[in-house]
Amino acid sequence: MASVSARSTAKAGTKTRRTPTKPTLVIVESPAKAKTIEKYLGGSYIVLASMGHLIDLPKSRLGVDVDHEFTPEYLTIRGKAPLLKELQKAAKKSKAVLLASDNDREGEAIAYHIRGALAQKNEGLDIKRIVFNEITPQAIRDAVKEPMALDEDKVNAQKARRVLDRLVGYNLSPLLWKKVKNGLSAGRVQSVALRIICEREAEVESFIPEEYWTLEADFKKGRYSFTGELVSFNGQKVDLKSEADVQTVVNAIAGAPCTVEDIRDSERSIRPKPPFTTSKLQQTAANRLGFTSKKTMQIAQQLYEGVNVGATRIGLITYMRTDSVRVSDVALKDVRGYIGEHFPAELPPEANAYATDKKAQDAHEAIRPTMVAYTPESMKEYLNKDQQKLYGIIWERFVASQMTPAKQRSTAMDVAAGTALFRVSASRLVEKGFYKVIKLLATKEDKESTLPEMRMGEELKLEGYRPEQHFTQGPARFTDASIIKVLEEKGIGRPSTYAPIISVLLERYYITRENRQLVPTTLGRKIHEILVDSFPDVVDTGFTAGMEQMLDEVEESRRDWVGALGQFYAPFKKRVDDIMETLQSFKGSLDEPTDQVCEKCGRPMVKKLGRFGFFLACTGFPECKNTKSIPLARCPRPGCDGEIVARRKAKGRGREFYGCSNYPACDFITYFKPTNSYCPKCGWFLVERFDKKRGSYKACINPACDYLHSQDGEHGNDD
């Protein structure tokens, strides 16, 4: 009867309802990426973000069964359950799921855990993996057309890394709690980086500078003036140890004619550098733009995930975690087309080839613009200043990498004055080559200098001598750029970990950043001392590099991760247990007595080391819990009896500044660290300043005082 009724209803012309087509669910890591990809795929797709990992090891316990093949115990991360349920609910309404997390170990693990969670609630659901190197319409559509299975080897490599780090951290941290201070922690890779920084600091402190002098002479020919440096005297290489040595030379050649003795011209070819890898991008951004490695990666992530350009959303660069300089054929065709149109004379006959480091995984292309036509100038109105700068150097480096070399002609002229020989150098580009696109990446060394036409034996007018005292420079403290370079050279960490390594050490207050230099704290030195004495193998650079290689071999299916961890763990755990029993306690050894008295109970206060540096605490703890910041200087405001202390903004871990303890009654602040010295002219305190020309120096904080004062001093209201 039902079928007859249905047929008669249909004959009567009543429309039948169509079952709506289920969409395909795409899961990415970040909302910004989701927004960009959803615009590319259209209405038959729903794109949601997992916000990174949803499932991980438990936070409050080891979570690894060391007796049964190091099986990890995975749990939904606290606070992430509602998001996971939302994804499961969306998957139930979808015909298929595409997991589009980042194409690296962490991304593969995120996809693996999400697949497991979705499959539990949606049996038989088609769940596949898609990967892409750039977020452009074509790359996303191509990826969607070719979904694939998850890479189990990559998942195992991440699992091995996570378990290894957990085994090290969860065994070393309790040791530090018991022997040094509660709340401390030690990581596998971070501890090695801390060792490198501490050992460099020891070199810096032990270095004894030696005095030496240079002597320059200013010459003139017609309207041209140029300077030469003394290179030899009496036929010997110059070695001026004191001002007296300089005077000996000057006296010996006084009145002697200055004649051109030799002129040598040479020409060299300067090849463009390859496009950026992660480490080279972080190093260049630190040196040229003053960016920390963390800031560089944050901005690169924004450029990769997409920015609004008019009505469209565009991913401007390829994936920013890579150790390869490889470039796709499509990108080569794109950049060569651009160069051919705008710089035809600088287009080489064949594409320039660059060798990727042997230690590189080569999983991703180099960092490059997704489209060369998106020039820095054309993107200027859509990017903020920091995005403009970073995108500019990425674009310049990539386009330059496929242009012809530059040719530089150098002239070295030797000028004889008695038995002294001065050398004048000049260089200029005779063919600009790739330098035609270099703007942000230009350096002082790229500037040209010229000499007038000269002939042998020609006499020059001596304008005068310029002796200058110098001191030998010891090893430099590490910066973000130089520590990343060392980590990369030693095979410690991977492109995704360089920035987090530095961030973790800063957050734990094992190091501080002073004038862009990384300096170990008292706490950091103590941790380093204990770890090096007790676990020399674990914090050895060779061991750590070997562990990174092991993880690579697991990913390439050439190594069993369970067996590798088994070889490491048994002797490591035995060593931890032995040290726990035998190592003396250092608790309280970092505390210092002071002459300060607690204003609440009258007991003396002690200088203690906390998570964010030293502070004053009452010795009556726990009965009296009074603490306060350590005063660094007197407040200079007339009529104010407050003291200058270190402060941070209430929300987050903002930039540290120094303000009056009487705030808000007194709103004096400065971003320069006070010293324990006061100005002899006005009595205000001196602060630590730094610039490239003078290095570190002290200056008066008073804007009205000229005692070593720079006009850009910061002080005033805390806004």
Residues 6+ apart with CB under 8 A from 95: 21, 22, 23, 24, 126
Q: DSSP assignment, residue 307?
A: E
- The 3-state DSSP composition of the chain as helix, strand, coil percent (nearest 5) reads 35, 25, 40
User: How many whole angstroms separate alpha carbon 495 and alpha carbon 120?
Assistant: 34
Q: How many CB atoms lie within 10 A of CB 167?
A: 21
Q: Is 661 exposed, middle or buried (0-12, 13-18, 19+ CB in 10 A)?
A: middle
Chain centroid to Cα 184, Å, comes to 24
> Does the annotation mark 170 as catalytic?
no
The answer to whether 33 and 39 have CB atoms below 8 angstroms apart is no
| Residue tagged active-site, from 40, 45, 112, 319 | 319
**Integer angstrom CA distances of residue 154 from 161, 363, 551, 554:** 11, 11, 9, 8
Closest CA to 53 of 139, 126, 155, 149: 155
Q: Whole-angstrom Cα distance, residue 321 to residue 11?
A: 63
First to last CA, the chain: 79
Contacts of 520 (CB under 8 A, 6+ apart): 194, 197, 198, 201, 510, 511, 528
Q: Cα–Cα distance between 414 and 412 in angstroms, integer?
A: 7
For tokens 């004055």, name the residue.
Answer: 417
CA distance 523 to 530: 11
Strand, coil or helix: 535: coil
Query: What gap in Å lies between CA 546 and CA 428, rounded to an integer?
Result: 46
Cα 67 to Cα 566: distance, rounded to the nearest angstrom: 10
DSSP code of residue 390: H
Of the candidates 650, 522, 501, 561, which has an alpha carbon nearest to the alpha carbon of residue 164?
Answer: 561
Distance, in Å, from the CA atom of 546 to the CA atom of 164, rounded to the nearest integer, reads 13
| Residues designated as active site | 319
